Chain A
Amino acid sequence: MMVWFRRTSREERPPSRVPEGLWVKCEGCREILYRKELERSLFVCPRCGHHHRISARTRLAQLFDNGEWKELFANVYSTDPLEFVDSKPYSERLKALRDKGLKHDAMLIGVGKLGGRRVIVGAMEYAFMGGSMGSAMGEKLTRAIERCLKTRTPLVTVACSGGARMQEGVLSLMQLAKISAGLAKLHQARIPFISVLTDPTTGGVTASFAMLGDINIGEPGALIGFAGPRVIEQTIRQKLPEGFQRAEFLLEHGMLDMVVPRGELKETLIRCLAHLAS
């Protein structure tokens, strides 16, 4: 819970995933943990319960039966339609990430079995530009929704994102409308959609699909909101109350159906889907 308040300087920002190495330091309690042990507990600290950020691939492996799944829409990738340049060109940022092996942009989509039931799961990749949503991710998720419609397959998304991708300007913003319009069709077709919100889920991702689940599930301690805490602090010029915009806060305010520890997520999804899916 206190992590956010320590996260003021850029150096201390937690990495997008647990670093490699035999021993790792817990982001929550600073305890030194044996990596294998942390991995066994799904990257949840056995001592303090801190949920570490995990890669999209790890997430899909944790959720699908026997860790088996097939990637969908892997051929879609981002371009630089605005020819956006800040400290370096967006096109170079994209290339550097793809060269590092991140070829699925901000969302990895897989189809497989969850509790024996065929589902499509889209998990976000925070390491890909802060999990920011641009045209490629919007296109992939929309195709996933259309596939769900055609095959009457339930959809699960696992959000982890700072919001829309600035480097694609208003085209990123349009992905909110595009995905939500797809979800309107899924809604009308009565196909279940469960949204899981992890740390962090903010901006345009929260303001579109992440809040539109038939059931919304948060991970413990996850920062979830529309505006980021710093923007709010600057606007109202006062300190934010403790626990503000955390998953538990959203549960209390009626925005989430439940807050579920990672170890129970798969079982929870299976039970929810059994209630909703035909």
Chain B
Amino acid sequence: MAMGSLPVPPFLARVEELRARLAELEALGTTQAREEAAAVREALEEEVRRVTASLTPWQKCLLARHPERPYTLDYIRGLFTDWVELHGDRRFADDPAIVAGFARLDGESVAVVGHQKGRDTKERLYRNFGQPKPEGYRKALRVMELAAKFGRPIVCFVDTPGAYPGIDAEERGQAEAIAYNLRAMAMLEVPIVVVITGEGGSGGALAIAVGDRVLMMEHAIYSVISPEGCAAILWKDQSAVQQAAAALRLTATDLLRFRVVDEVLPEPLGGAHMAPQLAIRTVGQAICKHLHELARLKPKELTERRYQRFRALGVVAER
């Protein structure tokens, strides 16, 4: 995975420097380079340990957005076989910000739906930075309904800054598309496992995240609004992102505490991008485990439990 043009967050500057040096040395392959590489590797590990020992919520946001983090298609390539991608919402267009289709996991056919970000500038534009338009949500639902029709479980990968805020998206009913998915997903009579792999950006994330199990990567975030948006509105100051990120309680540990997610999946030291194959394997094992548990439930039990799962979310008091 080549580095794109997105800037590396300052707190990771030294880590990235060491990684680049290590890659250089490994490419050289001389005895001298190998010796130096060992030293760099050690320094890198120490620096990663130092940095990740006490990540602030804002730093977690930056890690969740790391340009080398595995994206949906990486998970699909790494975990599934026989991937058949399906396109279009049959209403207006195909939205490259969401990928959807069928694939095999452990030999079993499942539907896979996920947000897709781009690696380089060209692909980022093509994928609209992972911000879907209504047709993306409608495509996602079309494929999920196919899964329900043919009795296949559904796996969703969530990684989006949010639904696209644009004139065309509004004209075609962005809000309606999201709302419709929320209601429809609650009624799908097949198991749904959701993994928040990077950014869980508000309604744009939730529109494919109404699942029986919602799993979250250790350094992923899930929030009602981006720290930038929250800072601008509540602090009237774009630079208050650190306070906003902390106040929003958007980390995996927070969300586990509020039962918004069912399990936090550990990431390799320094984040999923440091050892993508390891991260992908962890996610795969978790998906299989949860699908296996859900396979025992009858369709009506599934939807009723899914209802009760979301029914219980929120904190209120009664006088």
Contacts and interface: CB of A to CB of B under 8 A. Distances in A.
Given A87-B234, A170-B255, A135 B316 contact: yes
Range for the number of chain B residues in contact with chain A: 35 or more
A84 B170 contact: no
Interface of A: 75-79, 81-82, 84-87, 134-136, 138-139, 142, 164-166, 168-178, 180-185, 187-188, 203-204, 206-212, 225-227, 231-232, 235-236, 240-241, 244-245, 253-255
Given A86-B234, A169-B248, A173-B202, A211 B173 contact: yes
A135 B172 contact: no
B310 A212 contact: no
Interface string B183-214: 11011000000000000101100110110000
Interface of B: 163, 165-167, 169-176, 178-180, 182-184, 186-187, 200, 202-203, 206-207, 209-210, 222-225, 229-230, 233-235, 243, 247-250, 254-255, 258, 260, 306-307, 310-311, 313-319
Contacts of B315: 79, 81, 135, 168, 171
Nearest to A86: B234
A209 B249 CA distance: 25
Given A135-B315, A206-B175, A226-B203, A172 B182 contact: no
Contact of B167 (A82, A85, A182, A236): A236
Given A81-B258, A169-B250, A255-B176, A226 B316 contact: no
Given A226-B163, A231-B165, A174 B235 contact: no
Contact of B165 (A78, A185, A235, A254): A235
Scoring B165, B171, B174, B178 by chain A CB atoms within 10 A of each residue's CB, the highest score goes to: B165
B314 A82 contact: no
Contacts of A188: 187
Contact of B249 (A82, A210, A235): A82
Contact of A75 (B163, B247, B260, B319): B319
Nearest to B312: A178
Contacts of B310: 174, 177-178, 181
B210 A209 contact: no
Contact of B203 (A176, A187, A241): A176
B307 A207 contact: no
B270 to A, nearest CB: 25
Contact of A204 (B171, B224, B229, B243): B224
30 contacts: A77-B318, A78-B317, A79-B316, A79-B317, A81-B315, A84-B248, A86-B247, A135-B315, A138-B314, A169-B224, A169-B250, A170-B248, A171-B260, A171-B315, A172-B224, A180-B210, A184-B187, A187-B183, A204-B203, A208-B178, A208-B179, A208-B203, A209-B179, A211-B179, A225-B175, A226-B175, A227-B166, A227-B170, A232-B166, A236-B167
